Amino acid sequence: MTGTNLVILGTASQAPTRTRNHNGYLLRWDNHGLLFDPGEGTQRQLLFAGVPSTRITRILLTHLHGDHCLGLPGVLQRMTLDQARDPVPINFPASGEAWVERLCSASLGRPTRQTLEPVDDSGGTVTDPPLQITAQPLAHRVPTLGWRVEEPPRWHLLPDRLAAAGVAGADAGRLLAEGSIHIDGSVIRLEDVGEQRRGRSFAIVMDTAICDEAVELAEGVDLLLCEATYLESEVSLARDYRHLTAREAATIAREANVGHLVLSHFSSRYPDASGHVAEAAEVFPAVTAASDLEVIPLRAGGATPPPL
Ligand SMILES: [Zn+2]
């Protein structure tokens, strides 16, 4: 499948339940496949989701608690079995490198192929053209990074201006590629017949107390995937373990003015997430709760953003 969407592989915090696998999220972005936080069982969830392991082009960990990384050995071994073409880069908070190394050599068998690309615990950037990936530190009990993925602004050609300028067919593609073309002796430039629009964007905020960095990561994104481990009725637990309530996740979404808030990482004490959605919707109405194996488009209905 082409396009940009988020495959939900698991939605449970700490311990899986009968209906929720450990965390795991695959962001399919054209030919990129960014796998975030593969918890235990992610290899099998990929199978249920109908996604081959070779679709993964990068793995990113928010932190090294087990519900966010225990699936790494299985995923890496499966990529080896499936003859993934290139070593897969793995990004994670640098202070967790010893645990990542252990996870990458967790059993006997064919060696897995990966390159470790730690990111400073205080944040940083990852180059994966055309994607711009940035990390910011969150406020959990151990070093944790939230991630933001976006692409540069894109040119959109306007049909009426194209027609007026006499640009048609393959010339339109050439104009997008080259920036300007000659037609009947006159120069047509992109800015004459098109306009720039904001690129697509995504943020993941997992395992944190509420903090400014979460809002900065999420600023204006199309889709924010955010932990909502607890409800406000358990706010004291959220404080003790440095997690978010659904209301707090919604507050981040509202302050960051995101397009769509998706809640996940639910405590096993809740039989379903209807309470989370109801609580969050009072603060930020464009909210849904993630379900295992759901596929969520980055931009609802393929909407295009307004011009810059
Ligand atoms: Zn967790």
pLDDT reading at 122 higher than 90: yes
Q: DSSP string spanning 236-267?
A: HHHHHHT--BHHHHHHHHHHHT-SEEEEE-B-
Phi, psi of 215 (to 5 degrees): -65, -40
CA–CA separation, 41 and 37 (whole Å) = 11
Task: Give domain 4-153+198-299's CATH architecture.
Answer: 4-Layer Sandwich (3.60)
Is residue 57 a contact partner of residue 31, using CB atoms and an 8 Å limit?
A: yes
Least Cα distance to 273 among 229, 210, 239, 241 occurs for: 229
CA of 83 to the centre of ligand 1 (A): 30
pLDDT for the residue 168: 87
| Secondary structure letter of residue 12 according to DSSP | B
Least Cα distance to 292 among 49, 13, 60, 54 occurs for: 49
Is residue 21 a contact partner of residue 41, using CB atoms and an 8 Å limit?
A: yes
List, for residues 170-202, the tens digit of each pLDDT value: 999 999 999 999 988 889 999 999 999 889 999
pLDDT reading at 307 higher than 70: no
pLDDT reading at 1 higher than 60: no
CA–CA separation, 86 and 24 (whole Å) = 22
pLDDT for the residue 93: 98
Is residue 122 a contact partner of residue 92, using CB atoms and an 8 Å limit?
A: no
In what helix (H) or strand (E) does residue 216 lie, and over which residues does it extend? Answer: helix 212-218
Structure-token pair, residue 242:
């440095």
pLDDT above 90 covers a percentage of the chain that reads 86
CA of 103 to the centre of ligand 1 (A): 17
pLDDT for the residue 109: 85
Query: In 10 A of CB 276, how many CB atoms?
Result: 26
List, for residues 268-280, the tens digit of each pLDDT value: 999 999 999 999 9
CA of 23 to the centre of ligand 1 (A): 8
Q: Look-up: residue for tokens 């990852």?
A: 126
In this predicted structure, which of 9-23, 173-187, 209-223 has the lowest mean pLDDT? Answer: 173-187
Task: Give the confidence band of 299 by pLDDT, cuts at 50, 70, 90.
Answer: confident
pLDDT for the residue 187: 92
In the chain, CATH 3.60.15.10 covers: 4-153+198-299
Query: In 10 A of CB 249, how many CB atoms?
Result: 33
Give catalytic residues, as residue numbers: 67
pLDDT reading at 302 higher than 60: no
When the pLDDT of each residue in the chain is averaged and rounded to a whole number, the result is 94
What's the mean pLDDT in 23-40?
97
CA of 142 to the centre of ligand 1 (A): 11
CA–CA separation, 266 and 271 (whole Å) = 10
pLDDT reading at 120 higher than 80: yes
What's the mean pLDDT in 74-86?
93
β-bridge partners, 35:
26, 59
Most confident of the ranges 43-47, 106-110, 192-196: 43-47
CA–CA separation, 68 and 36 (whole Å) = 8
Q: Which residues surround ligand 1, an ion (CB under 5 A)?
A: 13, 67, 207
CA of 241 to the centre of ligand 1 (A): 10
Task: Give the confidence band of 2 by pLDDT, cuts at 50, 70, 90.
Answer: low
pLDDT for the residue 110: 86
> Please, what's the largest Cα pairwise distance for the chain?
71
Rg (alpha carbons) of the chain, rounded to whole number: 21
What's the mean pLDDT in 144-173?
92
Structure-token pair, residue 82:
């499936």
One-letter identity of residue 300: A
Structure-token pair, residue 74:
């299985």
